[in-house]
Structures are given as structure tokens and as C-alpha cells.
Structure 1
Amino acid sequence: MTLARDLARLWHARGFRRLTLVRLLSQTGDGMFQVGIATAFFFDPTEAATPGQIALGFAILLAPFTLVGPFVGPLIDRWQRQRILLIGNLVRTTLALTIGAVVLLDGPSWIEYGLALLTLSVNRFLLASMSAGLANVVPARELLAANAIMPTLGTIAAAAGAAVGGVVTLVVPTATDSSLALAALVGSALAFSSSAWATTLLSRRQLGPTEPLAALHLAAQLRALASELASGVRYLHRRVTPLQALSVMAAQRLLYGMMFVASILMSRHVLGDPAHPEQSIGEFATVLGFAAVGFGTAAVLTPWLAPRVGPHRWIVGALLLGAGGQALLAASSARWALLSAAVIVSIAVQGAKIAVDTIVQRDTADDFRGRAFTLYDVAYNVAFVSSAAVAALLLPPTGYSSAVMAGIGVAYLAVAALFSRAPRVPSPA
């Protein structure tokens, strides 16, 4: 099996092993945290959980970070990335426990939203740092395999963490929303603190940057950050291939985000019973579990097929596969259709992401890599917020519309057609 061989080969690199451990623990906590806030925000039986409310939730959680996110990239190129991971996970531990206390005490929802915003913002900072640092712990020729393995294992770990919440609802069906959310949040805090410990196994300079930018006074640093971000955008534009890869990722995330919102609503109104949130959460956890199967399959297929056809053609193929998955959901709202689409679309999304990560890392110099992956995260957030807004306009309260699902499939085909004409070789910078 290609995945097993690639993992066995990469496992000899101590830095890769330790960074993988950091990511697995961190994203296991992500999955638990997402179940906690989903329970608190989206499956409350006293709330209608309409497409508009979910869109508002995504906007509150992601849009503010999108405004400050561009300044994160220069910081990733300025600060030691190992310290970012250590301090960031300790901050997330504190925030998760604080949200748990607010839920337990039935505090105001705006406080929960604000703290969740901070936690998710730090999470995107950490993921961008890990992606930027990966190229410093594996040889350049192994980047494709490393991008297939590490983020995919992290995504599976997140799905496993989310599945724990679903198991809790089955084992303790009489548990209240607040107790389910609290258990998930405490579990996430334990995982975040474990990830902070694992970060100490990496040396301070191991993840780069190789030449940290000099520290400046606050005013001068803000001016420098803006200048460095602008130079990063100009660099990606001149290189062409990284910017086009980021654009495809954003388009695919927008389409995937619409299906994600539909899955939340369908788990509540089609597969579950709005009066029994524990059943809805269990159904949504099942959808996430099937998505994890797709992510794992992408990790096996991508290192085997992508080198043979090239990352650009692989991305086009993944987009076509995504269109096929959406066609199933357009044909039926049955449970089998949603779960099948979850597997197929997840293969497409994760397979394309692996190739996009590789293109960005391969075609971007280390001095600009932090900025590149922060722009990646900003595009991700904008796409997800936009998907929620579009879903609020197009989806019915139940979350299912055959016409909308078919339209998403057509959009996949359009993006595939556009990217098939994109250049394969980066321009000199």
C-alpha cells in the first residue's frame, strides 16, 4: 500500500514524527471542540437552527478572523513556528475550559461566540504554522507524500474526536445539551494541552523560519507586517501557480461548505428529530465519520495517482469526482445518498487539498511560505462564510434541495474546466 510505504519512509525523519504527533493531538482536540460548539450553537432544541442562523454563526465565528488573518502570515515568517505551536495550544486549552465554564453556568451566548471565535482563530494560526514548517522537516522530494499523510491523518483525528461526541450521545442518551457540550470541551482542552507538550519535543528552530525577520517596535512592526503581506501577494501573483492553486481551493471550499451546512440541517430535520438533539448530533457525527473514510481514502490514492498524472490533473480529476458525489445527493435525500456523498466529496476535497498544499509549498520560497499559507487560511474562511451565506439564501429549512445539490455539481464541473487551462510551471519571481 502506497500510504503505508510513504508513512514508513517518512517515519525515519524525527522531525516529521514529532510534528505529526503535534498535529494529531491538536486536531483531535479540534474535533471535540467542534462537537462542543455545534451542540451549544446548532442543536439547541429551543433554537430553530435555520440556514440563516447557521450562516450568522459561521459569520460571527470566522469573518472577524478573516479581517485580522492577513497579518498572521508575516508573523509566521517572523516568529519561531515551534513557539507559535506551543503557546497557541496553551491558549486554546485555556479558552476551551473557559467556554465550558460559560456553558455550565448558562452564560450569555455572545460570550460563547466570542471565545469560540478566539479559539478557532488560534487554530487557523496553528494550522498555517504547521503547513509552513512541514517543508523544514522533510526533503523536497517527499513533500507530496508528507502532504498526503500529515494533514489527512490530522483530519481523520479531527473526525475521530468529533465521533467521540456522537458516541457519548448514544451511551448517555438522557444527557442534556450543556453536559454534552461541556464533556466535549473538556476533552478538547486535554487534547490541546497534550499537543502543547508534544511541541516541546521539537527544537525551537526546527520548523523555521530559517532567517527570522527582525523584531521591531509595535508601530514599525505593524507597518512592516502590512508591507510584507503586500509583498507576499505580489510574489504569489508573479509565481502564478500558487495563487491559482489557492483560488481553486477557495472555490472548492465554498462548494463543500454549502454541503456542510446542508448536512447540519439534514441531520436535524431529515435524518433526526429536532425535538431530540442527541439524535441529531449522532446523525451528524455519523456523517463526519463517513467523511473521515473519504479523507483516509484520499490519503491512499493521492500519493499513488498524483505523481503519475501530475498535481494539476489530479486536482481536475478530484473536482470531477466531487461533481459525481453531488449528483448522488441531487438524486435523493435518503440517508444512503448523504453518507455516500460524504465519502465521495471528501475524497475529492482532501485529494485536491493535498495537491494544492504541495503546489504552494513547492512553488513558494520559505521566506514567503508563512504568508502564503495565511492567505490560504483567509481564503478558506472567506469561502466558508460565503458558503453559509449562499446556503442561507438557497436552502430550505430542512437543508435539502435537489436543485441546489445539482447546481453545486455543475459548479464543480465549471471550476474543473477553468483549472484545466491553468499553467503547470511557475513563473520566475
Structure 2
Amino acid sequence: MAGVQQAPTTVRHLLARRDFRRLLATRLTSQFGDGVFQAALAGTVLFNPQRAADPIDVAAGFAVLLLPYSLVGPFAGVWLDRWSRRQVLLVANLVRAVLVVLVGGLVLAGVQGACFYVAGLAVFSVNRFILSALSAGLPHVTDEPSLVSANALSTTSGAIASVVGGGAAIGVTALGGSGNAGYAALAVAAALPYVTSSAVVSGFPRPYLGPDHLTRTARASARDVLEGMLAGARHVLQHAPAASALGVMSVHRVFYGLLTLMTLLLYRNTFTEQGGRFFPGGLTGLGEVLALGAAGTLLAAVVTPWAVRRIGKAWWITAMLAVGGVGQLALGSLFTPWSIVLAGFALGFVAQAVKICVDTTLQESVDDDFRGRVFSVYDTLFNVTFVAALLAAAFWLPPSGRSLPALVVVGVGYLLTAAVFARWCLRRQRRASDVLHPAEVLHADAPAPPAEEPGVRRRTSDAGRDLTQPRT
């Protein structure tokens, strides 16, 4: 029996498309700049000898920079479904280039407090706007069978570009020295890749990246935003895979936030003289954690499409949550530089594998006209859960960062989430099976179901309907 030939989903197939390469280049240049800018901020706040920081200061800084995006997010979602996404990417990157120059000036002047954080907030708000537009536009440059591979390649290479940018910035700092002048120069340097990203995306025709049904007016009242977000929320809730995927990602980000602050404190206050040549402390050691985390994301990009084709997205997410729990319990609890580096590798693998599956599930489950709003809600949850975990950890973790109870909470939490999600998967499969095989519950004296007609086979849709198609 001849089967239906599936579209190829290899990296070579994706890169053969010029439009995909252009959107990928837009992401890579943009996220390289993110890495440079984030390294400049991390150095300024955490490792600058002219400044001091404690857990609450660090968490408060993240909260000021990321939480207000929760207010921007709903408007961003509506705008992404009303404006040309190509124009969003073009203009927003130029705006970021101007903003990072402003931040660099504030760092050079030694400005701290509200003014500094507000400037950083503006950069991060535009950044999340851009990432939402990139995700919402991706289905326009690839075919549906290739979405898992496209997400794996795009998000993973983007994360690696960010780490490469951060590593380059750390290397420049090691050569040129730290202090306000050095970190200010790094912040300003991030403007160049942002401008480059804007130039790359300008090669798309204006309507190319959607939305499919473009609303010509860009005005959005508060009522428009509220109604739009409620419609987007209802749209997600009507699609169980999308809603469950968002739930899993939110829980994962809570654990990720706690581990992030723990790692920062360990390298800021504990791993100062440990590890020696191969596993140093300070900003260089933190760079090693980021580099191994990037290696984990790269491996996840290679393995995830293969795994999803064999066991499906839901079961791969379940497996990754279990790996996250075991990995953090086995490695993180040792609290040595080499074990934290390996734990970073495991966490990078798990985080990217889960994100690829969640991104793809949302892209497959929601209509294009809702995609901008859904991905903005996604990004808002991404930030809120992360910052909530940071704030809780700031009051829980000691200044050294060493806390075995916190590691146990994270490890057991991952395992419990995996168990709950696995049960949801089994119940969903069982309900689908009950719909598909009602004959199994017939009484023994009931007439047998009619025999299948020759040349006809039964196929099941995702909704559980019994469909028939001629054999080919």
C-alpha cells in the first residue's frame, strides 16, 4: 500500500528556503546583540568592583526589568496581530540600538537606581516584543511538517548566538578590564548587531510574515486590548494541548528562576577561589556555565526532532521534566564548580527541549490571527513565573547560594510535574480510545459491528472523530 509522502524536515530542507534563512539571520544577529548587552548588564550589576549586590538587590533588579513587561505584553500581542510583523522587527531593532547607547551612557556616568533600571526595562521590553514577533512569523517561512525542526533550529541557534555574544563580551572584558568604562563600551557595542538585524529583515516584503488578515488601523484602546486578550485566552483554553504546554512551561520557569539566582550567588560569593584553572569562579566561571548550557541547547536541537517523531511532543516533554529533576538532584547538590557546570549543561538541554515542543504546540494549535496575542501571553508568563521565583529565592537562599533544601524542592518539583503531565497524557489517550472503540463495551449478545468494506481503512483525527479514506 502506497503511503502519503511526507515533506522533508531536515535542516538542509529548511535552509534551502531563502525566506527561512533571512528570518533566521534576523534572529541570530538580534540575539547576538542580546548576549553582548546582557553580559554588560551582568558585569555592571554583579561583578563590577565599583558596585555591590546582595540576593534581594539582584532579584529586585530582575523584577524591575522584567515584570513591567506583563503590562506591555497584552498591548504587544494586539499590535502583533494588527501590524506587519516585518515592520515590528525592523523598527524595534532600531529602537533597541538607540536605547542601549543610552544605557551605556548611564553606566559610564555611574548612574544607579531607578533611572538605570528604567532604561534597562525599555530594552528588555522591546526584546520580548521582538522574540514574540519572530515566533509568530516562523510558520510563514516553513511548512507545517517542518515546524518542530524549524523551532529547534531557530530557537537553539538563537540561544547559542546569545551565548556567543555574551562570551565575546566577557572575553573583551578580560582583556580590557572591568569597571564602568568597560561595561559601558560593551552596552554600546550591542547597537551594531541590532542595526544589522533591522537591515536583514528589511529584505522581506511588508506583509510577508503576517498576520494573514492585517487590520489597517494601529490604534488599540484599553477595551480593544482586554477583549483581544480574553479572546486569545479563550482560544488557548479551547485547545487542551496548548493550555497544558503553557502550564508546563510556567512551572519549569519557576524552577529555572530559583536555579538562576542560586548560580549567580554561587559564582558571586562562593566560587571565588575554588576550581582553579579549569573551573574558575567569578564572571569567567559563570561564562563556563553559560557555554555548557549553550552546548546543552545545541544537543537538544539535534535530538528533539528525532525524539518527537518517535514518541511525540507530550511524552518527550514528560521525559525531559524527569531528566531535569534527576540531573539537578544528582549534580547541583554537590555545590562544586565542575558539578554546577555539568548541571548547567543538563538544564540547558531540558529547557531547550521543552521550549521547542511548547513553541511548536502553540504554533500548531492556535490560528494565525491569534498567534501574536498567544505568544505575548506566553512571554508574559515566561517572565512573571521567572521573576516570582527569583523574588522568593532572594528571601530563601543564603548569600552564599548553597541550599540543599532548595535543590531538593527543584528536583522533586520537576519529578512531580512529570508525573502529573504523564497522567494527563494517559487520560487524553484513554478518552480518545473510548471514542474510537465503542464496540469493546458492547454486551456479549449484542450484534457484531459490520465488517469493514474492502478498500477502505479507518483513520482517526486529532479530535477523535472516526474518518474513512480510500486506500491508495
Q: Is the 8 A contact 2:332 2:340 kept in 1?
A: no
Stretches of structure 1 that go unaligned for 5 or more consecutive residues are none
Q: Is the 8 A contact 2:14 2:150 kept in 1?
A: yes
Tell me which amino acid in the other structure corresponds to 1:345. Answer: L
Deviation for aligned residue 1:227: 0.8
Deviations 1:308-348 (A, max 9, x none): 11000000111111112211344311111100000011101
**Does 1 or 2 have the higher relative contact order (CA < 8 Å, sep 6+)?**
1
The equivalent of 1:147 in structure 2 is 151
Task: Give the 3 Å change call, closer, same or farther, for CA 158–198 of structure 1 in structure 2.
Answer: same
The equivalent of 2:201 in structure 1 is 199
Stretches of structure 2 that go unaligned for 5 or more consecutive residues are 1-7, 275-279, 433-461, 465-472
The equivalent of 1:169 in structure 2 is 173
Tell me which amino acid in the other structure corresponds to 1:272. Answer: T
Deviation for aligned residue 1:48: 4.2
Q: Is the 8 A contact 1:319 1:413 kept in 2?
A: yes
Q: Secondary structure at the match of 2:49?
A: coil
Task: Give the 3 Å change call, closer, same or farther, for CA 39–427 of structure 1 in structure 2.
Answer: farther
Q: Is the 8 A contact 1:75 1:225 kept in 2?
A: no
The equivalent of 1:259 in structure 2 is 259
The equivalent of 1:185 in structure 2 is 187
Q: Is the 8 A contact 2:272 2:282 kept in 1?
A: yes
Tell me which amino acid in the other structure corresponds to 2:327. Answer: G
Deviations 1:67-90 (A, max 9, x none): 221221111111100000000000
The equivalent of 1:366 in structure 2 is 368
The equivalent of 2:458 in structure 1 is none
Q: Supply the distance in 2 between the matched residues of 1:88 and 1:273 (Cα, whole angstroms).
A: 42
Deviation for aligned residue 1:179: 2.5
Residue of 117, 132, 136 corresponding to 1:132: 136
Q: Is the 8 A contact 2:246 2:358 kept in 1?
A: yes
Task: Give the 3 Å change call, closer, same or farther, for CA 408–216 of structure 1 in structure 2.
Answer: closer
% identical equivalent positions: 36
Q: Is the 8 A contact 1:39 1:180 kept in 2?
A: no
Q: Is the 8 A contact 1:272 1:279 kept in 2?
A: yes
The equivalent of 2:73 in structure 1 is 69
415-424 or 280-289: which moved more? 415-424
Deviation for aligned residue 1:110: 2.0
Deviations 1:181-205 (A, max 9, x none): 1232122111111111111122211
Residue of 4, 7, 21 corresponding to 1:17: 21
The equivalent of 2:404 in structure 1 is 402
Give the structure-2-normalised TM-score: 0.85
The equivalent of 1:226 in structure 2 is 226
Q: Is the 8 A contact 1:257 1:387 kept in 2?
A: yes
Tell me which amino acid in the other structure corresponds to 1:66. Answer: S
Q: Supply the distance in 1 between the matched residues of 2:222 and 2:9 (Cα, whole angstroms).
A: 45
Deviation for aligned residue 1:294: 0.6
Deviation for aligned residue 1:391: 1.1
Deviations 1:216-264 (A, max 9, x none): 655xx33222211110001111112111101111111111111111111
The equivalent of 1:248 in structure 2 is 248
Q: Output the aligned Cα RMSD.
A: 2.0
Residue of 56, 60, 63 corresponding to 1:59: 63
Q: Is the 8 A contact 2:173 2:183 kept in 1?
A: no
27-36 or 175-184: which moved more? 175-184
Deviation for aligned residue 1:214: 3.9
Q: Supply the distance in 1 between the matched residues of 2:204 and 2:46 (Cα, whole angstroms).
A: 38
Compare CA radii of gyration and give the structure with the larger one.
2
Q: Is the 8 A contact 1:31 1:161 kept in 2?
A: yes
Deviations 1:120-176 (A, max 9, x none): 00000000000000011100111010011001000000011111122123323xx23
